[in-house]
Structure 1
Amino acid sequence: MDPLEDVLALVGATSRLSTAMAAGGRWAVRFDPPAGVKFNAVRRGGCLLRVDGVPEPVTLAEGDCFLLTQPRCFTLAGDLDTPPEPAGPIFRAAVDGVARAGTGEEVFLIGGAFSFTERGRALLLDGLPPVIHVPAATPEAGTVRWAVEQIDTELRAEPLGGRLVAEHLALVMLIRILRLHLARGGGSGWLAGLADPVLAPVLRALHARPDHPWTVAELARVASVSRSTLAARFKEVVDRGPLEYLTGWRIELAAERIRRSDDTMASIARAVGYGSESALSVAFKRTTGLSPRAYRSRARR
């Protein structure tokens, strides 16, 4: 089982493309915190990106893109000395799907956002930096650039099903950006664990057989290290112990089945590795703050 594919399938990721933006001359646009995970790609020209709480601005060149992983205000600008205008009025005045800032069209950006279920957002994004910059000059970014180009083509040509194709391409881009982040190393959380040579086989094993009664000793054999080494490494990178991670993943699987199926709580408990409905209920309430039945009722409302 591929844990990244596993989690992306579970978190209910959807994409939405937004109005494009053209800008030129002296310009700066201030954006409110996005509701989802925001992305933009520079199709022409270049600009600066400043994200609240990030010390240094990011220089964006033609072909670059970025992923804003947290709901923070951000500014796109031709220079940082120009007072920014709020994005709302500019985008409400868009013509033919393009909002315009400043004078001319020296810079052209396309963008959109990814949305996740409430629990899925924390599961996927924990440990990521607030902004991930993918420079066009990075050789590994070729597929990201291809996806951006195809999205632009689909939106401009407007063929049958073009918007749906563009949205699926945006999800491809999200996966590629996450892969690039993993390849760079650093960070924490389960995504960082996927790039760790000790933890990666353990995470694959946990995701392949979440209902198995795993022990730390058995997982240490999977990783070919001692129990103490595995426990320490898991805590350092993923910020929790291996069995604590397994409990969290089982609860995510149970929550997904509770939301989307009419299965009994007893059958869901067995499917995710709990011996009884009461054992699932105790673990589920400790993790989510709700009993499984209360969670199902709230989800369906």
Structure 2
Amino acid sequence: MDPLSDFLALLRPRSAASSRFDAGGGWSIRFGGQQQRHIKSYVVLAGECWLAVDGREKIERLEQGDCFVLPTGCPFRLASDLGLPSVSALTLFPAAGPGGVVTLADGDDFSMLVSRFAVTGKHADQLLQMLPAVVRLHKDADQAALRWLAERMMHELREPKPGSDLVTQDIAHMTLVLALRAHLNGGLDQDTGWFFALADQQLSRAITAMHAEPSRRWTVRELGKHAGMSRSVFALRFKAAAGETPMQYLARWRMLLACDRLEHSSDSVATIAEALGYESESAFGTAFKRVLGCSPRQYSKACDEDDALDTDKSSSLSP
């Protein structure tokens, strides 16, 4: 698969939910009092509002037809007027069930479709932090696609049929893929990070090579050839774009693959080590601990202990 598909496959979305939010008059709502493993998408059906995301200077003005996705689940505000005091979304949406409608005041001025889904796995936090905080779709075709997906998800949740669980999970995945693809093609407003490096056509070729053969003993020179650059130029450009060296990225990607297999397969540590190109289980364990701060077996044990807790967290439906 391509790097973006590889990356998103590890997120494993589930527990999708959708609802509509209607508001009237002046209002201001704060969403997300804590970091959550939820990816959220929004489609403005009618009216206008402001979007202010914590840690991001740019404030967005949203109008009818606008679509945006918050991959990291970071806190934000939606408001008709940002000067108004904010009300916590937790006080407004405690009873918002799948496919439900929440109305504030008369609900005549603004309407928005909200879709959200949890992502699972102990490595999900690392993966989400590699994505942009806000993805806004600007092209009509992209907006139309996301709106259709949001409406379809709401329909599946409101009127469940055989296979609806699988349909909503697939819609969640498609929503994120289409949004990130549009973001890559439309230009980025961030300076560093994996996603920024992936948008660079030359660096993307090197990243694709690493993903295609993660077990290969790559050198910076070989990766530079894939990118069409000299070793030194490639190393400097990769570090400037991604915020880490090519070898650091390769090691981290290998460990993310290892985490996924430790969580979701019965493979032994020795088998995983060999599959990722390590000469011995000991060498793999050393690399794993250097990146993640614990041994593979400690990680695997923690995954077993956290399964029930992750299930409880993913059931939240608050937008």
**TM-score (norm. length: structure 1):** 0.88
Kindly report the root-mean-square deviation, in angstroms, between the aligned alpha carbons of the 2 structures: 2.4
Contact persistence 1:24–1:107 (CA under 8 A)? yes
Please report how far the alpha carbon of residue 259 of structure 1 lies from its aligned counterpart in structure 2 after TM superposition. Answer: 1.8
Deviations 1:195-231 (A, max 9, x none): 2121111111111111111112222222222111111
Moved more, 188-197 or 67-76: 67-76
Match of 1:276 in 2: 280
Structure 1 position 65 matched with structure 2 position 46: no
Query: Structure 1 stretch 101-110 or stretch 206-215: which is displaced more?
Result: 101-110
Opposite residue 235 of structure 1, the aligned amino acid is K
Cα distance, 1:282 vs. partner? 0.4
Helix, strand or coil at the partner of 1:198: helix
Aligned to 1:225, what secondary structure does the other structure show?
A: coil
Q: Work out the CA distance in 1 between the residues paired with 2:111 and 2:275.
A: 49
1:31–1:74 CA contact under 8 A, matched in 2:
yes
Q: CA deviation at 1:273?
A: 0.8
What letter is aligned with 2:248? E
What does the per-residue CA deviation read over 1:161-188, in whole Å, with 9 as the maximum and x for residues that have no partner?
A: 4464234213211111111221133333
- Report 1:189-208 matches (<5 A): 189-208=193-212
**Structure 1 range deviating more: 104-113 or 1-10:** 104-113
Shift of 1:89: 2.7
Q: Are the equivalent residues in 2 in contact too, given 1:14–1:171 (CA < 8 A)? A: no
Q: Deviation digits for residues 49-70 of structure 1, max 9, x if unmatched? A: 2223333432111221222244
The aligned residue for residue 149 of structure 1 is 151
Tell me, which stretches of 5 or more residues in structure 1 are unaligned?
none
Task: Tell me the secondary structure at the aligned position of residue 98 of structure 1.
Answer: strand
Change (3 A) 1:119 1:156: closer
Give % identity.
Answer: 38
The SS at the match of 1:181 is helix
Distance 1:160 1:106, change over 3 A: farther
- Residue among 175, 178, 194 paired with 2:177: 175
Give, as a single letter, the amino acid of the residue that structure 1 aligns with 2:236.
A
Query: 2:165, 2:11 → 1: CA distance?
Result: 22
Describe the SS at the equivalent of 2:81. coil
In structure 2, stretches of 5+ residues that fail to align are: 306-319
Distance 1:182 1:205 in 2: 19
1:85 to 84, 87, 94: 87
Opposite residue 168 of structure 2, the aligned amino acid is: A
Runs of 4+ in structure 1 deviating by more than 6 angstroms, as ranges, are none
1:1-301 pair list within 5 angstroms: 1-14=1-14, 16-33=16-33, 35=36, 36-92=38-94, 97-116=100-119, 117-126=121-130, 128=132, 130-135=133-138, 138-155=140-157, 158-162=160-164, 164-186=166-188, 187=190, 188-301=192-305
Query: What secondary structure, in the 3-state scheme, does the structure 2 residue paired with 1:281 have?
Result: helix
Contact 2:18 2:113 in 1 (8 A): yes
Distance 1:262 1:154, change over 3 A: closer
Distance of 1:53 and 1:276 partners within structure 2: 43
CA distance in 1 between counterparts of 2:245 and 2:95 reads 51
Question: Cα–Cα, structure 1 residues 170 and 267, in superposed 2: closer, same or farther, change >3 Å?
Answer: closer
The aligned length equals 299
Which one has more relative contact order, counting CA pairs under 8 Å at least 6 apart?
2
1:166, 1:11 → 2: CA distance? 15
The Cα of 1:276 is off from its aligned counterpart by 0.5
Return the offset for 1:145: 3.0
Deviation at 1:143, TM superposition (A): 2.3
Q: TM-score, normalised by structure 2?
A: 0.84
Does the residue aligned with 2:123 lie in a helix, a strand or coil? helix
Q: Distance in 2 between matches of 1:159 and 1:47?
A: 34
Taking the aligned partners of 1:227 and 1:28, their CA distance within structure 2 comes to 51
The answer on whether the counterparts of 2:142 and 2:178 sit within 8 Å (CA) in structure 1 is no
Aligned mates of 1:180, 1:77 — CA distance in 2: 26
